Structure 1
Amino acid sequence: MAIQYGITGGTAKAIAESVERGVAEGALAPGAALPPVRRLADQLGVSPGTVATAYKELRRRGIVVTRGRGGTVVAAAPAVGSRRPPKVPAGLRDLAGGHPDPALLPALVPPGRLSPGARSHRSAPRLARLEDEVRAWLGTDGVPTEQVTFAHGALDLVGRLLSVELRPGDSVAMEDPGYHHLLDLVAALGLRAVPVAVDDEGVRPDALREALHGGVRAVVCSPRAQNPYGGCFSVERRDALVDVLADGPEVLVVENDHASAVADAPLRTLTASGLTRWVHVRTVSKFLGTDLRWAAAACDPTTLARHDGRLLLTSGWVSHLLQETVHGLLTDVGTQGLVARARETYGVRRAALLRELAGRGIAAHGASGLNVWVPVRDESAVVNGLRSYGWWVAAGARFRLAAGPGVRISVAELEPADAARLASDFAAVLGESEATYGG
């Protein structure tokens, strides 16, 4: 259906800005069709080449996509402010955010030793003692740690690497369903996300093989606590994926172990198998604090050089105050005990919801991590139905590329007693909407 929003502008830049403004303000919704190039050119009194250039820039930035005969439409998750998830309505129990339980996070206390004076840390961007701790942390799980680096979170690292390694128009193999911020990031960089199906053991080898044959330049995957599906690599699955990746030795493999310490599953990493180009990244936001925007990464020498070279030209280094805080928490015995309790608690809560749903004939997925994925026939009917019972869950649309519909339920703060009530309400909603649960 053609849009009603009035696009304006006499130059390619002005036309692109007009479209972006319409998307940001909500006047152009995801899926809205833009006018054909020649029609808009006639309306604005410009050449078709000017409009084509504007559309090309919008595609490069992930704001629109072109669907062949279907024309140019606003992307499902356009890379502007309107792609943020909706606010939680007042009075509802929030199970949509994917955040850890605040009661299971340590108190954040600024370090007593502050960096002296106003000086640059470009020559020594990483604290040696934190590097040592990271090597021990990752090495215990079998990740090679000859080269390690830090970043301002996993998205910061992935975005920096993809922008250095790839060019607009290149394709990236992405988990489907997958983490919506990563999907948005790939689109914002002007890259093409190639959906790779997942199951309870993570990325499916057949889907990854198809993506590699299609020419992807990078693969982004989660070895455990996959978000939102919850899959985790088995030994057999890891070995099968390693065999597939042998056909693409120059492909950059990004392993995002975002939940690590609270994933409630062992790490079966791809990185110890002799890959040519790889990076394993971990954050601490799920178990030390959501405001600790820090990530550790181990990688091959080429990836290290390219990442750190670009970091040097931008922020230069990760704050040493932040590094001091992270080091203090990682090495604190009390915090280590709290993290262990969080890991156990999240496992119990996730298992309780899966059990309660299964008892009512509702199949769901969540082999590890903080989320449960429930396939449904009609996402809107389920989300709105659960809202009427006082629950707020995440519609699956923003996590999906080609996968079937579903909803994501975050279990971090869901006590087992509450899980029974939620499952009962879920079953009632399915009955009330007369949805045929397809799994």
Structure 2
Amino acid sequence: MAIQYGISGTTAKGIAASVEQGVTEGSLGPGAALPPVRRLADELGVSPGTVATAYKELRGRGIVVTRGRGGTVVAPEPAVASRRPPKVPEGLRDLSGGHPDPALLPALVPPSRLSPGARSHRSTPRLERLEDAVRDWLLPDGVPVEHVTFAHGALDLIGRLLSVELRPGDAVAMEDPGYHHLLDLVTALGLRIVPVAVDDEGVRPDALGAALRAGVRALVCSPRAQNPYGGCFSAVRRDALVDVLRDEPEVLVVENDHASEVAGAPLHTLTARGPARWVHVRTVSKFLGTDLRWAAAACDATTLARHDGRLLLTSGWVSHLLQETVYGLLTDNGTRALVTRAGEAYALRRSALLQEFGERGIEAHGASGMNVWVPVRDESAVVNGLRSHGWWVASGARFRLSAGPGVRISVADLEPADAVRLASDFAVVLGESEATYGG
């Protein structure tokens, strides 16, 4: 997609800044093609090496990607500007967001006891009672809890760890398809992504083995409720992955258990059986509230020291007000009952849609979590076709690296009765798209 935008500059930094400005302002949108190096060099009166250096800087910062003969284009999710999801067209049922059902979330009440601002929060960054609650939360699932820490959400923790542990150009094994914000974050850090295929049991051992042979220094994976595919580790799959990782003790294993209490599947964690370097991170946004930007993590001693050392130099600590709120909810019996009910509801809604798809011969995946992944031939045809029936789903392009096309459907508030209509409409749309695109 060629875009008319006047790139300017006489130095590599100036050219890179001009491109970044175009992306930030929206003049260069995702997929927009940048001029070939030699052509832009001729237009600006600079050497090809200057333009090549500018493009290299932009690639390292996750603003552009190079696609071989396809040239250099603006990244699908460039690491600048505001990348809010597309606005849901009026009158459509939104199944694209991946958010929990508001009716199944507790009321968020700030703690009555405010955190005094006079004491040094840096010297005591974590509330001891919340640390104890986190250990009580993780230990029954087999996660080692000798060392725990907190962060401002999973992305905050993972981004901090990768920036401390790795250097630009280092390789990271990432699930494919995978969580698009994590894929964008890794690219923005200047790291190289090595795709690792997933199935209904999560990361495939053969794909992980290939990534390790390619020299990855970290693995980021989800043990259950994998987004968008829905896979979850079985005990057999967990053991197979541990075997693959056993000969790579320096690889940092990041286990993102983002849905935990409402995943609808037991945890088979990698952390208890082998990795020397590991972190298991959990958030509460899926079952306590999306505005609770808090994560708990258990990890090895080295990882704890490196994470907390960098945290100390930046935000310093996670708000004690936020910690008090999370502690109150995690230890409240009424909230626990609500979370149990939410997990049961999501499992019912997910299985209802999968059953309806199965009865119509539609392949779909969603062994756990709040999402269902449906492989399709043409994402745009299916998304637009469902739009004509009143549904809004997420195109799979933003989640994929080298995996095949598909769409993601969020089922958090999709009642079983609605699943019947959605599956029927989906079958119609698939038939129409196959007729249009050659079957």
How high is the TM-score relative to the length of structure 1?
0.97
Alpha-carbon offset, residue 69 of structure 1: 4.2
Following TM superposition, the consecutive aligned residue runs of length 4 or more in structure 1 with deviations greater than 4 angstroms are: 435-438
Listed as ranges, the matches of 1:3-402 within 5 Å are: 3-81=3-81, 83-402=83-402
Distance 1:274 1:377 in 2: 40
Q: Which stretches in structure 2 are left out of the alignment for 5+ residues?
A: none
Q: Is the 8 A contact 2:246 2:274 kept in 1?
A: no
Task: Report how far residue 89 of structure 1 moved.
Answer: 1.1
| In structure 1, distance between residues paired with 2:57 and 2:305 | 30
Amino acid at match of 1:90: E
Evaluate the alpha carbon distance shift between residue 13 and residue 120 of structure 1 in structure 2; reply closer, same or farther with a 3 A threshold: farther
Paired residue type of 2:101: D
Range that drifts further, 66-75 or 110-119: 66-75
CA contact 2:180–2:398 (8 Å) conserved in 1: yes
Tell me by how many angstroms 1:82 deviates. Answer: 5.7
**Are the equivalent residues in 2 in contact too, given 1:379–1:395 (CA < 8 A)?**
yes
Residue 431 (structure 1) shift: 1.4
Measured in 1, the distance between the counterparts of 2:406 and 2:49 equals: 41
Q: CA deviation at 1:37?
A: 2.4
Which moves more between the two structures, 56-65 or 70-79? 70-79
Structure 1: segments with no counterpart, 5+ residues? none
* AA matched with 1:56: K
Q: In terms of mean alpha carbon deviation, does 89-98 or 43-52 score higher?
A: 43-52
Worse overlay, 49-58 or 85-94: 49-58
Equivalent position SS for 1:265 = coil
Secondary structure of the corresponding residue to residue 271 of structure 1: coil
2: distance between equivalents of 1:382 and 1:435? 12
Contact (CA 8 Å) 1:179, 1:399: kept in 2 or not? yes
- CA distance in 2 between partners of 1:351 and 1:415 (Å): 11
Q: Per-residue CA shift, 1:85-135, capped at 9, x if unaligned?
A: 211111111100000000000000000111123443000000000000001
C-alpha distance in 2 between matches for 1:363 and 1:419: 15
Equivalent positions of 1:414-433 (< 5 A) are 414-433=414-433
Count of paired positions: 438
Partners of 1:315 and 1:186 in 2: how far apart? 21
Task: Quote the Cα distance in structure 1 between the aligned partners of 2:382 and 2:233.
Answer: 30
1:78 Cα offset (Å): 1.8
AA partner of residue 266 (structure 2) = P
Distance 1:356 1:437, change over 3 A: farther
Counterpart contact for 2:242–2:274, Cα < 8 Å: no
Stretch moving more, 10-19 or 225-234: 10-19
Bigger shift: 175-184 or 22-31? 22-31
Please list the CA deviations of residues 311-333 of structure 1 after superposition, one character each: whole Å capped at 9, or x if unmatched: 00000000000000000000000
Counterpart of 2:149 in structure 1: which amino acid?
T
Give the residue type in structure 1 aligned to 2:17: E
Q: Distance in 2 between matches of 1:384 and 1:120?
A: 55
Contact 2:371 2:410 in 1 (8 A): yes
Q: Pick which of 425-434 and 404-413 moved more.
A: 425-434
SS at match of 1:140: helix
Structure 1, 65-74 or 379-388: larger mean CA deviation: 65-74
- Is the 1:220–1:253 Cα contact (8 Å) retained in structure 2? yes
CA separation in 2, counterparts of 1:373 and 1:437?
Answer: 21
Q: CA–CA distance in 2 between the matches of 1:375 and 1:435?
A: 17
How big is each residue's C-alpha offset from its partner over 1:340-384, in whole Å with a ceiling of 9 and x where there is no partner?
000000000000000011111111000000000000001001111
Q: Is the 8 A contact 1:23 1:82 kept in 2?
A: no
The AA in structure 1 aligned to 2:413 is: E
Q: CA separation in 2, counterparts of 1:298 and 1:41?
A: 50
Aligned-partner Cα distance in 2 for 1:276–1:25: 44
Taking only aligned residues, the RMSD between alpha carbons, in angstroms, comes to: 1.6
Q: Offset at 1:18?
A: 1.4
CA distance in 1, matches of 2:277, 2:101: 35
Judge conservation of contact 1:377–1:435 (CA < 8 Å) in 2.
no
- Identical pairs, percent: 85
Deviates more, 1:21-30 or 1:426-435: 21-30
Contact 1:378 1:435 in 2 (8 A): no
Deviation track 1:9-40 (CA, whole Å, cap 9, x = no partner) reads: 22222211211222233333333332232321
| Whole-angstrom distance in 2 between the partners of 1:435 and 1:129 | 61
Contact 1:171–1:191 (Cα < 8 Å) also in 2: yes
Deviation (angstroms), 1:2: 4.9
